[in-house]
Amino acid sequence: MDSPKIISQKVILETGLFDVKETEIQLEKNKKILYDVFRRPTVSVFPLTEKYEVYFISEYRYLHKRNVLGAVAGFVEEKESTLSAAKRELKEEAGIEASQFEEIGRVELAASVFKAQCHIFLAKGLETGLQNLEEDERITVVKIPLQEAVKKVMNGEINTSISMIGILMLDKLRKEKKL
């Protein structure tokens, strides 16, 4: 079976956060379908201390009508590298700078309708300072031992997908003595 062929693409929505493209795809036997695709990469950062504590952020999320505890995260700006975005988000949201960054994983947020990859970074050699929040951000920085963070994933207290994946990846790396 041949790979589907892209017939046409057009942007049908542009916002400050993302673009939606309508893509016409040719399948086998001349069947055509339309896809709407979200495109914008993101980063998530897990700052880890020498004592295996992780800095998280707690922020009120209107859609959930509650504070959500999770990883430092944000969009990659146009023409910005994922590493630069990780450094920027860590400084802005948590007030932390790190001397070491390592991309430990990449996650596709959804395989069918989104083309939005999240780059997961481990940050070490931490120096804490002041946050540089946007006007509408109200973020509290929370330091949690990695083992406690794993428990919060397992009991549903931390329940955003990227935060869950990153915590479990860090725990596996710790157990394998690769941190």
Per-residue confidence (pLDDT) for residue 36, from 0 to 100: 66
Q: Which CATH superfamily is domain 42-175 in?
A: Nucleoside Triphosphate Pyrophosphohydrolase (3.90.79.10)
Q: What is the pLDDT of residues 47-104, one digit of tens each?
A: 999 999 999 999 988 788 899 999 999 999 989 999 999 999 999 999 999 999 999 9
% of the chain with per-residue pLDDT over 70 = 96
Domain boundaries, the chain: 5-39, 42-175
Beta carbons of 68 and 61 less than 8 angstroms apart: yes
1 pLDDT higher than 60: no
CA gap 16, 86 in Å, rounded: 19
Least confident of 20-24, 84-88, 144-148, 168-172: 20-24
Please say if the pLDDT value at position 30 is more than 70. Answer: yes
- Per-residue confidence (pLDDT) for residue 5, from 0 to 100: 82
Helix (H) or strand (E) holding 100: strand 96-108
**What is the rounded CA–CA span in Å between residue 117 and residue 81?**
13
pLDDT band at 122 (very low <50, low <70, confident <90, very high): very high
The pTM score is 0.85
The residue-averaged pLDDT of 33-51 equals 86
CA distance 48 to 96: 11
Closest CA relative to residue 174, chosen from 45, 54, 43: 54
Q: Answer for the pair 75, 109: CB distance below 8 angstroms, yes or no.
A: no
Q: Which residues pair with 168 in a beta bridge?
A: none
3-state secondary structure of 134: coil
* Phi, psi (rounded to 5 degrees) for 2: -75, 155
